[in-house]
A and B are shown apart, each in its own frame.
Chain A
Amino acid sequence: MTEQLKTMLDRAAAQHFDPVDVDAITAAGDRTVRRRRVAAGVAGVAVLAVIGGTVAALAGSGDDKADFSDDPGFRTDVPMWTEGSVLHTPEATYELGVDVFTFVRTSEGIVFTGQISEERLGVYSFTGEGDPDKIGETEDPHLRSDPDGPYAGWLDQSGDRPEAVVIDQGSGDRVWSAPAKLSFSFPIVAIDGSSVYLADADEHPTHLVDLVTGEDVVLGDDGLGFVDVEGDLSAYLLEDADGAELGLEIRSDDRGVVEIRFGVDGLGVLSPGGRWISVGADDVSVYDTATGASVDLGATDAIPGMGIAWADRDTMLVVAQTAEALVLMSCEVPSGECEELTTFDDFSTLFAVPDSDLLWMLRGESGGLTVESSEVSASEAG
């Protein structure tokens, strides 16, 4: 009976399914669009160059300009970046042996991902001496850490089941782990001090786990779009009743809510200590989290780009766009004084800056690594 299979499939599929939460889906989708739009705005030139380029064939590409050093004074509260397998700091360069895809800093060193197969990344720990230690595997380039503390986390897929894991890079121990779902987003959305912020279906944190006490706090679902956290400050998207983006809001126990209305993409990076927040806008923009006022950075205000990470409490790493390249700068806040660190114009070499998801998203669009969140059309990116 030709129809028997169809009938049996119909009967087998007659299950009860929970109603779809359209609001949650549109909120998650809006955040995805915003991230992509910011990424494209920061480095549209790079998108074009990389899409036509050779990212998929990067294995073995290195940096013959490297001046290698065994400097034992490895500091992470300084401007740093990677090109290929070389880590650059103001004092030294380090050959890591693996092309770095993404990396984050802790107080002890860096944790980075490097491609080990078409769809798989190795997760490595490097503390300034010897070779990096491979500490996990993943297909998700998101890494999370607090540069002020020893903890770093990621979605680990080296075992039979995916896990969200956190290591103490000082001891090298895995200090926390939990089963994770392979959903479109990453389970650890932020680490602040000993607090790990966890999400379920999207990037909105639903739980907070204290690594010291083991306390697991349910944060609930208040519908706010999570942006960043630092100490008692949390940054969320600011939207009107219809969901139109107005900017960001900074919440704290002491000061309540401070609104930052800049009317563009909802991406922000809080500085260590939380005095400043760099936001996604057409040009480099920094706001005072206490007042919500824009910080006058002088000529830096007109640089097309964004401060995408903080080296220390007042030093921001800015990726700026020129006609032909990306320029990495170190800029002081509030003076606005900037120093050019390097220029990324060779798109056959991977480059990464710390604590940022933006650059790998751009490279993901090229097909260099299969990452589900990289699916984007040219029309969406514009």
Chain B
Amino acid sequence: MAARDRAAFADFVAARSGALHRAAYLMVGDVGLAQDLVQEALTKTYVAWPRLRDPANAEAYTRKAITTTAITWFRRKSWYGERPADQLPETSEAGHADAVAVRTSLMDALAQLPPRQRAVVVLRYYEDLTEAQTAAVLGCAVGTVKSQGAAALGKLRALMGDQLDLTDLISKEVPA
């Protein structure tokens, strides 16, 4: 166990667990699931710790573990029953919705995205990763990130209507 520095790992967890939980929550839409996801990803990170060398690598590794595990979970049919994937947001309320309603609508809309598109949204627009970094996390080509991102934004706009203005983002991300 000498190669696994528990103190350094604990420092990493203390510094980054909040951000990792938030990203995991956006990917799975459930606090309990997000906590399970982070715990699993951190366990994998701890096992891999000797070859990660520095905290930046550890965070990238954990983020990848969260993302790939979340996608795997969503591909298992059983997990769809855990979230309101069949409930469309109340777009007619957009004009006077308070922050809570908008947040609910966003999470409902995210839940209706295919798992890889949802991961692209979180990685690109919440984690602020570049397309290349996102492709590395997902293990796919940059072109796939572009196409998945464009499809995701288009679907979010369709689902959320006036609650979310993505005009600038879509015009930048989607070639004419």
Contacts and interface: CB of A to CB of B under 8 A. Distances in A.
Interface of A: 1-2, 4-6, 8-22, 24-26, 28-30, 32-33, 139, 157, 159-162, 181-184, 201, 243-245, 372, 375-377, 379-380
A35 B22 CA distance: 32
B78 A157 contact: yes
A2 B168 contact: yes
B136 to A, nearest CB: 17
B78 A162 contact: yes
A22 B165 contact: no
B38 A29 contact: no
Interface string B60-94: 00000000010011001111010000000000000
A139 B72 CA distance: 12
B104 to A, nearest CB: 9
Given A17-B34, A22-B10, A160-B81, A1 B165 contact: yes
A201 B17 CA distance: 18
B46 A25 contact: yes
Interface residues of B, number: 53
A22 B36 contact: no
Given A12-B26, A12-B106, A13-B26, 13 more contacts: A1-B165, A6-B125, A8-B106, A10-B126, A12-B107, A15-B21, A15-B22, A17-B31, A19-B17, A24-B39, A25-B46, A26-B4, A29-B47
Contacts of A159: 78
A17 B125 contact: no
B18 A32 contact: no
B122 interface: yes
Contacts of B114: none
Given A157-B78, A181-B36, A379 B50 contact: yes
A375 B25 CA distance: 24
The DSSP consensus for interface residues of chain A is loop
A31 B61 CA distance: 20
A8 B78 contact: no
14 contacts: A6-B125, A6-B128, A9-B122, A14-B22, A16-B31, A17-B31, A21-B39, A22-B9, A25-B39, A25-B42, A29-B43, A157-B76, A181-B36, A376-B47
B110 to A, nearest CB: 8
B157 to A, nearest CB: 10
Nearest to A28: B43
A4 B39 contact: no
B73 A182 contact: yes
Contact of A184 (B23, B40, B164): B40
A375 B44 contact: yes
B169 interface: yes
A372 B69 contact: yes
A243 B78 contact: no
Nearest to B173: A2
Contacts of A184: 40, 43-44
B73 A20 contact: no
Contacts of A20: 13, 17, 38-39, 42
Contacts of A243: 1, 6
Given A12-B106, A184-B40, A161 B81 contact: yes
Contacts of A6: 125-126, 128
Given A1-B168, A29-B4, A13 B42 contact: no
Interface in B115-163: 121-122, 125-126, 128, 156
A193 B73 CA distance: 33
